[in-house]
């Protein structure tokens, strides 16, 4: 076999294409002064030959031949021993081959060695029966024999991943217990590493779909509901059991490795056709958890592309694609079966009144989570038509928490982490439909024909798309912080603390998603251009304002994991023009950038994606709109009533101290030349005049939100305490906002979105300014004083205009 090794290695090198090497070769933390021994999880000639070829090509320490370490000679590439097999029994586990090295290292510290674990995946498949594909195609949880490995190399040579582990030094493993125990400890650490990596890449072992559905329908929880309904509704248990299986087939995914590979190739072509590139940030936070946590991805939902994009990114970067909760409306001919085999499971929009369906869905979700399958669902419920982060829906979060508590009450070993993900687009395919729906148009039903219409748009430019991973939330740590003694209630189906906790968990996840927002050329230009009276601005001023926004994000981030685009402000403007989102008109005195009414309406969606990142900067700048000088104490008192309400509307984490946050922002605006500091406080500079214009543009970002608050308070205070219910207050405020928009020439339907006013009412209740008595909204003099103080933010002209809007028709 040895004489054939060299030609086999050359054959492997010529045939195999590595789709992923992780980490990159130049990022390996190898000590060049120490010898290297590579360790494979099990003996495999194909893996060893591939590793030898890779090391030669990239200048790494050789994996071929033997390595002399002191008095010991060992192969440069070792493998953890696998138990031998016989027809009727399995031999005992062999000892790992590091004992001699450890004994030598104990006696001679200068003979240090670094072990580098290496995992090779020839294709990737969950452990599931795929007939002929299982024999040929891919790595799964079952190790393969020589013939099947040879066939796998032949079939999967163009789809191979290689993962390096962190180098492990023998000296770090030795202790007083001796080399024998250190040898076992080394083998155990390596096996744990290989198992966690295999879980991260392949996901947990999948049951056959038919067996899974049968298990769900016959679970004690489902059978209990069947028995209760059979008694209460006088129905046959057998028929209800059959219905439960039908529900299971309607819900369950059918993830198939051939489809994953097909979709990987298809989506790669789609992204190359549709986008200029996909930028990914923060995926290392997922990889740090994936080996020993059940992952629940919770992305924002802005486009139907979200379903496909996140799975593609995870698969491309060596992570198992999640099972995705999708609306039943997407289970349409042609599309539904493909999505189902790509990992989608389908749920009805509402199943509160169908106990059997709810039981089947809950049990299916629990089995996915308890077995460690990664999951993905959109906590907003639907796509955001306004571009803002929508309030989290409680349904899937509640089911996830109940499943976790049920698992914790059993084994108590499950680790679960929510992974917030922000997906940002320079241009979305739903532009036209969102604008139509915001203006009152009916949402069109999804269909294969609608998909064909979307495919007709693929020749248009869509720019780049960004996927940012936020700060993961480990559920046990969150429950320890928010509940404390939650483990004492593990036997209860619905602990008393569960219902009030779910909205808080949803808000926390939404804040973490927003904290990872992606700034791109389109939303940056939208932030500035829509702050101008006529949606037109000189390009030179626009460039300076874009640089200001970028610098504000760098120096005092509105989101800790938010990202900025590459390039300069000039490059960003060129990109937005190229996408057809704005028009650039040459002029002898300097080019002008402008947007017509249609373009401005579209840009509002992109502005709303990221406006929250500049909430505090915009609010502080707005305070200088008509009062040129402020002292810190007076400014804090002026902003204090509205800041918590604004922070909740924009779904952001407010600073621990408003005073410290305002002070930092004031100093930053001084550094930018937009404010000056004197003994009297902070004030607007008289020169240059452009500084005042740039400060006004920054403050304009918060004006729509502040105007909405003004209108709602005006309606509430005019009616008096105990006169209005929440729905009537929100609707009356919406009508006034619509009137203001029409009279101001503001073509922005999202400005008078009823949900924004309903959220404002909830925020006032949460902050203690309002409370309910027999469903009527009640307040006291504190609200009148706070409203009076907040009105001082508005200049007299703007205040007069708002007062005219709020006057009754007969006044």
pLDDT of residue 133: 43
Instruction: List 464's β-bridge partners, or say none.
Output: 277
The mean pLDDT of 647-659, rounded to a whole number, is 89
Q: Is pLDDT at 152 greater than 90 in this prediction? A: no
Please choose, from the candidates 531, 543, 594, 544, the residue with its C-alpha nearest in 3D space to the C-alpha of residue 571. Answer: 543
pLDDT band at 377 (very low <50, low <70, confident <90, very high): very high
**pLDDT in the model for residue 218:** 92
Token pair for 160 = 């191979």
Give the residue, 60 or 153, on which the prediction is more confident: 60
Tokens read off for 268: 């790669």
Residue in the structure block whose two tokens are 């040929």: 136
pLDDT mean across residues, the chain: 85
Condensed to tens digits (0 to 9), the pLDDT of residues 532-581 reads 988 999 999 999 999 999 999 999 888 899 999 999 999 999 999 999 99
pLDDT higher than 50, residue 177: yes
pLDDT greater at residue 87 or residue 36:
36
* Tens digits of residue pLDDT in 72-97: 999 999 998 875 544 444 444 567 78
pLDDT digits (tens, 9 = 90+) for 659-685: 999 999 999 999 999 999 988 899 998
Give the Cα separation of 392 and 754 in Å (integer). Answer: 17
Residue 519: is it exposed, middle or buried by C-beta count within 10 angstroms (0-12/13-18/19+)? buried
pLDDT of 92 = 47
pLDDT digits (tens, 9 = 90+) for 279-323: 999 999 999 998 889 999 999 999 888 888 898 889 888 888 899
Are 595 and 535 within 8 A, CB to CB?
Answer: yes
- Single out the residue of 55, 25, 21, 49 nearest to residue 160, CA to CA: 21
pLDDT at site 132: 42
In DSSP terms, 69 is beta-bridged to 72
42 DSSP assignment? S
H or E element at residue 547: helix 539-555
Rounded Cα distance between 776 and 350, Å, is 29
Is a pLDDT exceeding 80 seen at residue 365?
Answer: yes
Q: Is the dihedral of CA 231, 232, 235, 239 positive or negative?
A: negative
CA distances in angstroms from 297 to 375, 468, 513, listed in the order given: 6, 12, 11
pTM: 0.82
What confidence tens digit (pLDDT) does each residue in 482-506 have?
Answer: 998 888 877 777 888 999 999 999 9
Q: What angle do CA 54, 58, 63 make, to 5 degrees?
A: 45
Contact 725, 650 (CB under 8 A): no
Whole-number pLDDT of residue 206: 55
d(Cα 523, Cα 607) in Å, to the nearest integer? Answer: 5
Is residue 207 over pLDDT 70? no
- pLDDT at 143 > cutoff 60: no
Residue entry with tokens 């309903």: 758
């Amino acid at each position: 076999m040895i004489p054939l090794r060299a030609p086999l290695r050359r054959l492997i090198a010529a045939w195999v294409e590595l789709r992923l090497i992780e980490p990159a070769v130049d990022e390996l933390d190898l000590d060049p002064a120490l010898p290297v021994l590579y360790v494979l999880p099990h003996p495999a000639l194909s893996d060893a030959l591939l590793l030898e070829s890779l090391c030669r090509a990239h200048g790494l320490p050789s994996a071929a031949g033997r390595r002399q370490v002191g008095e010991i000679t060992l192969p440069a590439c070792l493998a953890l021993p696998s138990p031998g097999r016989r027809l009727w029994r399995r031999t005992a586990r062999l000892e790992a081959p590091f004992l001699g090295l450890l004994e030598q290292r104990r006696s001679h510290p200068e003979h240090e060695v670094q072990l580098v674990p290496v995992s090779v995946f020839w294709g990737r498949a969950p452990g599931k029966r795929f007939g002929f594909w299982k024999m040929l195609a891919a790595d799964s949880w079952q190790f393969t024999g020589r013939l099947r490995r040879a066939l796998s190399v032949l079939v999967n040579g163009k789809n191979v991943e290689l993962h390096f582990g962190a180098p492990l030094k023998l000296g770090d493993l030795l202790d007083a217990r001796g080399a024998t125990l250190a040898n076992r400890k080394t083998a155990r650490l390596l096996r744990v590493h290989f198992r966690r990596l295999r879980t991260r890449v392949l996901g947990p072992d999948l049951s056959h779909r038919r067996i899974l559905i049968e298990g769900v329908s016959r679970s004690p929880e489902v059978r209990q509901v069947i028995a209760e309904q059979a008694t209460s509704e006088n129905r046959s248990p057998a028929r209800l059991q059959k219905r439960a299986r039908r529900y299971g087939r309607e819900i369950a995914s059918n993830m198939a490795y051939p489809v994953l590979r097909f979709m990987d190739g298809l989506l790669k072509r789609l992204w190359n056709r549709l986008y200029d590139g996909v930028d990914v940030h923060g995926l290392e936070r997922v990889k740090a958890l994936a080996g020993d946590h059940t992952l629940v991805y919770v992305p924002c939902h802005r486009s139907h592309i979200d379903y496909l994009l996140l799975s593609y990114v995870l698969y491309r970067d060596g992570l198992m694609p999640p099972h995705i909760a999708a609306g039943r409306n997407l289970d349409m001919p042609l599309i539904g079966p493909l999505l189902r085999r790509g990992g989608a499971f389908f749920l009805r929009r509402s199943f509160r009144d169908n106990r059997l369906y709810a039981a089947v869905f809950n049990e299916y979700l629990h089995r996915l989570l308890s077995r460690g399958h990664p999951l993905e669902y959109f906590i907003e419920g639907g796509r955001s038509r306004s571009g803002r982060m929508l309030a989290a829906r409680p349904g899937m979060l509640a089911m996830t928490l109940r499943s976790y508590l049920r698992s914790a009450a059993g084994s108590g070993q499950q680790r679960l982490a929510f992974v917030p993900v922000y997906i940002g687009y320079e241009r979305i395919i739903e532009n036209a439909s969102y604008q139509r729906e915001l203006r009152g148009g009916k949402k069109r039903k999804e269909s294969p024909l609608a998909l064909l219409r979307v495919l007709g748009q693929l020749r248009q430019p869509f720019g780049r798309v960004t996927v940012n991973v936020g700060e993961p939330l480990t559920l046990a740590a969150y429950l320890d912080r928010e509940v404390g003694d939650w483990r004492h209630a593990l036997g209860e189906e619905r602990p008393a603390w569960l219902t009030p906790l779910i909205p808080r968990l949803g808000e926390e996840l939404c804040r973490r998603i927003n904290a990872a927002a992606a700034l791109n050329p389109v939303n940056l230009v939208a932030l500035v251009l829509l702050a101008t009276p006529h949606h037109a601005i000189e390009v030179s001023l626009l460039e300076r304002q874009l640089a200001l926004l970028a610098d504000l994000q760098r120096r005092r981030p509105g989101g800790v994991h938010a990202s900025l685009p590459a390039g300069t402000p000039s490059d960003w403007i060129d990109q937005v023009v190229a996408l057809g989102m704005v028009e650039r008109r040459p002029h002898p005195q300097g080019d002008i950038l402008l947007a017509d009414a249609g373009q401005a309406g579209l840009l509002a969606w992109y502005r709303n994606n990221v406006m929250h990142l500049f909430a505090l900067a915009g609010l502080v700048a707005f305070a200088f709109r008509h009062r040129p000088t402020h002292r810190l104490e007076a400014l804090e008192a002026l902003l204090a009533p509205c800041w918590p309400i604004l922070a909740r509307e924009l779904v952001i984490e407010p600073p621990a101290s408003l005073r410290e946050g305002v002070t930092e922002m004031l100093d930053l605006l001084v550094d930018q030349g937009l404010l000056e500091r004197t003994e009297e406080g902070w004030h607007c500079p008289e020169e240059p005049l452009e500084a005042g214009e740039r400060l006004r543009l920054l403050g304009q970002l918060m004006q729509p939100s502040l105007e909405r608050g003004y209108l709602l308070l005006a309606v509430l205070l005019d009616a008096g305490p105990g006169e209005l219910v929440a729905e009537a207050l929100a609707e009356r405020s919406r009508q006034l906002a619509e009137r203001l928009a029409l009279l101001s020439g503001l073509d922005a339907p999202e400005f008078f979105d009823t949900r924004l006013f309903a959220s404002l009412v909830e925020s006032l209740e949460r902050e203690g300014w309002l409370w309910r008595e027999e469903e009527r909204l009640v307040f006291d003099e504190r609200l009148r004083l706070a409203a009076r103080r907040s009105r001082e933010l508005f200049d007299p002209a703007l205040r007069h205009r708002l007062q005219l809007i709020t006057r009754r028709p007969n006044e």
